[in-house]
Structure 1
Amino acid sequence: MSSQPATGRAGVRPRRSQYAPRRPWRGALGALLVGGILVGVLLGALRVADFLQGVGNLSPGTIAKQVDPPAGSIPYKLQHGQQVNVLLLGYGGAENDAPYLTDTLMVLSIDSASHRVMQVSVPRDLMVDIDYGAGKSTFQKINVAYSIGADDGSWPGKKSEYRGKQGGGHLAEATVSKVTGLQFDGFVAVDFKAFRDVVNALGGVQACLDTPLDDNQYPDYHNGYIKGGIHFPAGCYMVNGEQALEIARSRKAIEPEQASDFGRARRQQMLLNSIRKKATSVNAVGRAPQLMDALQKNFVSNLDLTDINALYNFTARLPDTSVGHFGITQDDLVQRFYMQRGTCADFYADVLCPLDPSFATMRAFFANLFVDAKVVAEKAPVRIDNASLGVEDLGQRVENLLKPLGFEVETPIRRRAQTTSYVYDLSGGKFPKTAQWLATYFGATVATPPPGLTGDGVVVVLGRDYAMKWTGQ
């Protein structure tokens, strides 16, 4: 098992263009940190004040907010059954050639009424307009937004809120908000060094792998590869910060299960859960000073003490089953282009383009992250029939969106094209709430099943009308 910090052949690392083919392992890291950090920073009452003073979020009004939270604040929303949205950002930091590109952008959405949480990753390569000043905009990958806000020298004309220490976070919030339709209550930004330091400050965390993980093309810190690669056995064992980083970053494992996007996502979620559990354990309280020191120089946020305390009190009690995970990929709402016609960017750029350039379809998904529990409780079998004229993979893409929302979706079917979308309940009326929710979501009509339509659940037939919405027409 790998146990030493990454080393390899020396070399000068060139500055990486935001359009160059990416090194995808970097996107894993920020998501692993913040869940543990948000609960970890509350562990030492005496050191929390010093920590928040250091990041500039402790003021006389903080105590008053704790006692009587004002309407619209995070504590108030959590107390009154309202939704809270926090943007989690992970950036490379000083160890990387492009230190402020946010290779992880994750939406943490909390439905305090139903005590559910959704974590949705927004892909770093998604092309968007970044509006940073009055009449000033640049069409870039979404991960550039934080970097523009953090750089006050190269981007004249920025709005005042996009300047200073928190300028990057505020610009990232505004940009992701435009894409998702969500209004954010705050942001948290951490760099990769913080990941290692937090895991080490916790005394290590437990990693559990179903299969071995062997990666002979694991990158070092000098634009090369670790000699001999990295190797982790199957099973459960403690890992330190560097080892946890290697497990999170690996993309070129020789084991197919570990090399896939699904396998990597499972490892990331496993590590996030381990950090959360360790940070909230009784034994971790004594490590609060180390946690504060690990984060003070690598943590930027506009959350104050009462915000973090409220988030901690709410999320620390939630079981794992209350937390949902999803990542937007080229299997659902976006499409990857690299040296292909039809791209939304330069022909030679490795980018992700939205299937719906207006982002209306993406905003509709984020608006429905928390499906009514009564709808999900029907446990209706749902099938998507693609009756669009030209979007061949529409059924599979829609299936991938519905599953993380709690629906039991069957394999989609391709059928003869039709103009209008319909929802059919083939159960004889057993699933009325599911049928109506789906009809509302897709802008379809609940209708009597036509002769010859088979199934025992709810069938959604997506016609040309929905396909046009899907592609922003």
Structure 2
Amino acid sequence: MPPSPEPQPYRSMADQPAARYSQRTPSPSSWQQGPAPAAQQNAQPYPAQPYPAQRPLVIGGAPSSPGAKPRRPFRRRRGCQIGCLGTLLLFIVLGGLFIVTMQKVLAFGSAISTQSPLSTQTGYMNTSDRVNILIMGYGGAGHDGAFLTDSLVVMSLLPQSHKTTLLSVPRDLWVQYPPSSGNYTKINAIYTNASNGNANPIAGGDAIAQKVSLVTGLDVKYWMSINFAGFRKFIDAIGGVDVTVPDAFTARYPKNDDPAINASWITVHFSKGPMHMDGATAIVYARARYVLDNNAEGSDFARSQRQQLIMKAALSKLKDWHTWPSIYGALDALKQTMYSNLSLADLTQFALKMDLNNAHRLGLSNDNVLADSTSNDGQSILLPRNNDWQAIVNYVKQGLYN
């Protein structure tokens, strides 16, 4: 095996031009030079390196090792750190808002219901059975007949198909109460009597729901009461509602909802067509009954339809994400407005599954199964035609299933 070549002396970069020149034009004196002194060879024990033309010269601190990754500039690392910190802060803020919102929502659910907020009595509306809830509205403290339920509407829902029926029950329907007592009263007085002037709303709600079940033949287990005074504040909190008025009318209306407090009256007019209503206007529209120029709008059935329009508009407004920034104020207003024996979770599912745009509307009135009458003490009342209570049940059943 031939011996390996001896190492060549190292040439510095300063020596390179001379070396290159000497290679091109060797001088005679170089022929006579012998090997380099031993001391010089021992001083440089590694092979001579050629001029690094084979490697690119990179300015800016490029690594000498071909396989090493370039180091990221400090500015890019700093930008990444700031971006990560901003994302973290955003998640913290959103998480805090979520926690605060959930706390408010759960507190709201506890305040408006006899049930815990996340409980369910209906399987979160996953049942195939019909779910009926009685919505009753009253004027509230400071009004004449403060807790007379002048609005009675049964919302009947088939959760699987979203089929919704709204059944209006007239306030002047003459019924026996307490049951089997032989005493009679208008159905709108049951709540205030059973609740002892709203002191026991659960007893009042249960009593009126049982009576409506008996009259209509529907299984009305659930109820929700609405204070119109609080509902006015709720409408204002969500920025008003947009309602399409189906029929124009003019009516007289007590200046502050109660002639006993302020005997003066005002005249209100609603034109046919779209209208934006604040809380006060919405309540006047829903409750006006002393109509001057359109007899049909003066009936209990027409008032019930107007109230349904307001409720529909309010629900639509709540589903609009533009309303969400005002949700805290809306929840505070509703705390003083509603009470139910359904949990917040069930009420939410009920509202989401209702199809109010295609809802079927029924109403008990003197146009179908009821007749005008007068009580022994001179009150204007409504009774079943020919005193046939079963005819009411049959009418409701036919309206629901046909």
Alignment of 1:248 with 2:308, yes or no, is no
Task: Name the SS for the 1:98 alignment partner.
Answer: coil
240-249 vs 229-238, greater mean Cα deviation: 229-238
TM-score (norm 1): 0.57
Structure 1: segments with no counterpart, 5+ residues: 1-43, 67-72, 154-162, 339-344, 372-404, 406-473
Take 2:182 and 2:153, find their aligned partners in 1: how far apart are those partners?
23
Inter-CA distance 166–137: structure 2 relative to 1 (3 Å threshold): farther
Aligned to 1:292: 331
The within-5 A match list for 1:259-278 is 259=297, 261=299, 267-278=306-317
Aligned to 2:172: 125
Take 2:270 and 2:152, find their aligned partners in 1: how far apart are those partners?
28
AA of the residue aligned to 2:393 = R
Take 1:246 and 1:327, find their aligned partners in 2: how far apart are those partners?
21
How far the C-alpha of 1:259 sits from its partner, in A, is: 4.3
How far the C-alpha of 1:178 sits from its partner, in A, is: 1.1
Task: Name the SS for the 2:400 alignment partner.
Answer: coil
Inter-CA distance 123–254: structure 2 relative to 1 (3 Å threshold): closer
Alignment of 1:305 with 2:344, yes or no, is yes
| Residues 199 and 241 in structure 1, CA contact (< 8 A), matched pair in contact too | yes
Aligned to 1:202: 238
Take 1:210 and 1:176, find their aligned partners in 2: how far apart are those partners?
28
Task: Name the SS for the 1:102 alignment partner.
Answer: coil
Alignment of 1:230 with 2:265, yes or no, is no
Alignment of 1:51 with 2:108, yes or no, is yes
Selected match of 1:103 from 150, 153, 176:
150
How far the C-alpha of 1:364 sits from its partner, in A, is: 1.8
Inter-CA distance 319–302: structure 2 relative to 1 (3 Å threshold): closer
Take 2:386 and 2:216, find their aligned partners in 1: how far apart are those partners?
12
Take 2:182 and 2:338, find their aligned partners in 1: how far apart are those partners?
27
Take 1:127 and 1:225, find their aligned partners in 2: how far apart are those partners?
28
AA of the residue aligned to 2:255 = D
Aligned to 1:350: 380
Take 1:139 and 1:257, find their aligned partners in 2: how far apart are those partners?
28
| Residues 115 and 342 in structure 2, CA contact (< 8 A), matched pair in contact too | no
Take 1:319 and 1:354, find their aligned partners in 2: how far apart are those partners?
29
Inter-CA distance 47–331: structure 2 relative to 1 (3 Å threshold): same
- Count of residues in correspondence between the two structures: 298
Inter-CA distance 303–275: structure 2 relative to 1 (3 Å threshold): same
Task: Name the SS for the 1:74 alignment partner.
Answer: coil
| Residues 257 and 263 in structure 1, CA contact (< 8 A), matched pair in contact too | no
Take 2:253 and 2:167, find their aligned partners in 1: how far apart are those partners?
26
Structure 2: segments with no counterpart, 5+ residues: 1-100
The within-5 A match list for 1:371-382 is 371=401
AA of the residue aligned to 1:274 = A
Inter-CA distance 75–311: structure 2 relative to 1 (3 Å threshold): farther
How far the C-alpha of 1:366 sits from its partner, in A, is: 2.5
| Residues 248 and 267 in structure 1, CA contact (< 8 A), matched pair in contact too | yes
Inter-CA distance 289–79: structure 2 relative to 1 (3 Å threshold): same
Take 1:111 and 1:232, find their aligned partners in 2: how far apart are those partners?
34
Take 2:332 and 2:349, find their aligned partners in 1: how far apart are those partners?
22
| Residues 126 and 142 in structure 1, CA contact (< 8 A), matched pair in contact too | yes
Q: Give a deviation string over 1:317-360, Cα, whole Å, max 9, x none.
A: x3612x1112211111111113xxxxxx3162211111153511
AA of the residue aligned to 1:151 = N
| Residues 129 and 137 in structure 1, CA contact (< 8 A), matched pair in contact too | yes
The structure whose Rg is larger is 2
Selected match of 1:141 from 179, 186, 190:
186
Q: Give a deviation string over 1:89-123, Cα, whole Å, max 9, x none.
A: 11121022322211111111112343211111111
Identity across matched positions, percent: 25
Take 1:228 and 1:80, find their aligned partners in 2: how far apart are those partners?
48
Take 2:246 and 2:394, find their aligned partners in 1: how far apart are those partners?
36
| Residues 47 and 288 in structure 1, CA contact (< 8 A), matched pair in contact too | no
How far the C-alpha of 1:267 sits from its partner, in A, is: 4.1
Aligned to 1:333: 369
Aligned to 1:360: 390
How far the C-alpha of 1:232 sits from its partner, in A, is: 4.2
Q: Give a deviation string over 1:367-398, Cα, whole Å, max 9, x none.
A: 33433xxxxxxxxxxxxxxxxxxxxxxxxxxx
| Residues 57 and 305 in structure 1, CA contact (< 8 A), matched pair in contact too | no
Selected match of 2:127 from 80, 85, 105:
80
Task: Name the SS for the 1:105 alignment partner.
Answer: strand
How far the C-alpha of 1:238 sits from its partner, in A, is: 1.9
| Residues 91 and 101 in structure 1, CA contact (< 8 A), matched pair in contact too | yes
Inter-CA distance 290–332: structure 2 relative to 1 (3 Å threshold): same
Q: Which has the higher helix share?
A: 2
How far the C-alpha of 1:137 sits from its partner, in A, is: 5.8
AA of the residue aligned to 2:167 = V
How far the C-alpha of 1:309 sits from its partner, in A, is: 2.7
Take 1:331 and 1:210, find their aligned partners in 2: how far apart are those partners?
20
C-alpha RMSD of the superposition:
2.9
AA of the residue aligned to 1:49 = L
Selected match of 1:279 from 305, 313, 318:
318
How far the C-alpha of 1:55 sits from its partner, in A, is: 3.4
AA of the residue aligned to 1:197 = K
Take 2:265 and 2:395, find their aligned partners in 1: how far apart are those partners?
44
